[in-house]
Amino acid sequence: MTRTVAGRTDHVVVVGAGLAGLSAALHLLGAGRRVTVVERDPLPGGRAGRRALGGYHLDTGPTVLTMPDLADEAFAAVGERLRDRVELLPLHPAYRACFADGTTLDVHTDADAMEAEVERFAGAREAAGYRRLRDWLGRLYAVQMRRFIDANFDSPLGLLTPDLARLAVLGGFGRLDTRIGRFLTDERLQRVFSFQALYAGVAPSRALAAYAVIAYMDTVAGVYFPRGGLHALPRAMAAAAADAGADLRLGRNVTRLERSGSRVTAVVTDHERIPCDAVVLTPDLPVVHRLLGRRPRRPVALRHAPSAVVLHAGTTRTWPHLAHHTLSFGAAWRRTFDELTRTGTLMTDPSLLITRPTAHDPSLAPEGRHLHYVLAPCPNTDIGPGARAWRDLAPRYRDRLLATLERRGLTGIAAAVEEECLVTPADWTAQGHAAGTPFSVAHTFAQTGPFRPRNLVRGTDNAVLAGCGTTPGVGVPTVLISGKLAAARITGAPARTGAARGGRR
């Protein structure tokens, strides 16, 4: 049995209405708790927010949705179904990969379609390797989800299960790029199944092969687009929580926590004091530590993931070769990861994610217009340019991005931009994100699983953490799980109610 919050837990205050906080709220409501959700912004969503700009509607956070069954679990906790609240469109292809040599590959999540595409792209031998890789990814996911991702840990001893041996047999403790290379010899294909390590903040050459589970989510389980943009998901979760009895208080900034001994007794905002029996805290870790009045006791300082510059561009035209999600790879690869995670320099030959949400929902832009979201990974402010430096650097980097896109086939993009918003590490810093990154703590081995900041707080008996800074980690699927795990710490309910249903749709 894992540890749970002791004492009375009738009324829980959830600080933050992002995906983690809303997931926690729905699971708590389903277990019969009274729930108040406090959010500083006027809309729910947290990182998955929304901004209107001259008739364009921008997702301010993630744009890729995988594993929607995890969101469905949260809705099911209050007797609802995700599909009754959100229209999900499966993306075919999930991605289009464009390489520096001019070749392109459509990444399909259907096995037969992807095998045929790999054979067209790189030959029958690579297609057979893809089939073996897909099988390995499925087995890796099954082992990790039920024991290492969708599970609460009280200590590293919780790792000592038969599944640890199974993970070792699968090669999960080797290096990611080496393991992928056993299945695929084409370097371009290797990138498609290993670039996801960047989400974890580690280069493929240094990441554990276990992190290929992210590639499973991207390339096997399916990629979806919620009509209305990804913000439609937290908006629907908030509505379901309200209908189930949650008290949502938006536009309220939490200023402090009141305590009595080792328990939090009230959450105080700039508007009111809210008594509580327990609290779920979802802001970034520095904000949580300030509210708790404590500093983490770790022998080594936390390492943070790389950051990103995001250019939101509302344009008068689009480009036919762009899919909904397009990966634009530069010629450089290892050097790019060294720049992002070691030397702290901006990518000299950038690899970019370009998302075109108006491909499936034209209503996100004025009639006849198009919306493009360009994400360029960059070093965080711990090792790269600081927040102040970015204020001067931003306009020049924006011009460099547009010039790179122009060279890669987006002819005339600079002239086509009529509305734009550039987000840099300076903006992430202003939002309270440590090291100027929205991707939080990197998934090094020493910051993964039971070694990651835990969701129970030492010295506070009734506070639980959720979000990307705690277990299980960064990404839409994992923060949804973190909310469920936080709720389980309060209710004592089994945390793995849906862990075995990974392939269900």
**Cα–Cα dist 480/466, whole Å:** 9
Rounded (10°) angle between helices 19-30 and 68-76: 40
The reported pLDDT for the residue numbered 154 is 62
The reported pLDDT for the residue numbered 352 is 96
Rounded (10°) angle between helices 232-243 and 68-76: 10
pTM of the model: 0.93
User: What proportions of the chain, in percent to the nearest 5, are helix, strand and coil?
Assistant: 40, 20, 40
The reported pLDDT for the residue numbered 128 is 98
Q: Is 265 helix (H, G, I), strand (E, B) or coil?
A: strand
Closest CA to 290 of 434, 119, 169: 434
Pinpoint the alpha helices (H) of 210-333.
213-219, 232-243, 285-292
Closest CA to 325 of 219, 212, 481, 204: 219
**Cα–Cα dist 443/211, whole Å:** 9
- Chain centre to alpha carbon of residue 476: 4
pLDDT < 70 regions, the chain: 1, 147, 153-160, 163, 296-300, 494-505
Pinpoint the alpha helices (H) of 293-439.
334-338, 387-407, 413-416, 425-430
Beta bridge partners of 353: 327, 375
Closest CA to 17 of 227, 230, 235, 186: 235
DSSP state of 94: S
Closest CA to 75 of 282, 246, 248, 241: 241
The reported pLDDT for the residue numbered 157 is 56
Single-letter amino acid code for the residue at 238: A
Q: Largest Cα–Cα distance in the chain?
A: 67
The three-point CA angle 418-424-429 to 5° equals 140
**Cα–Cα dist 225/359, whole Å:** 10
Closest CA to 253 of 12, 17, 10, 11: 17
Tokens, residue 142 = 């099954």
pLDDT in tens, 354-391: 999 999 999 999 999 999 999 999 999 999 999 999 99
Closest CA to 109 of 96, 90, 94, 123: 94
Residue written as token pair 């990629």: 223
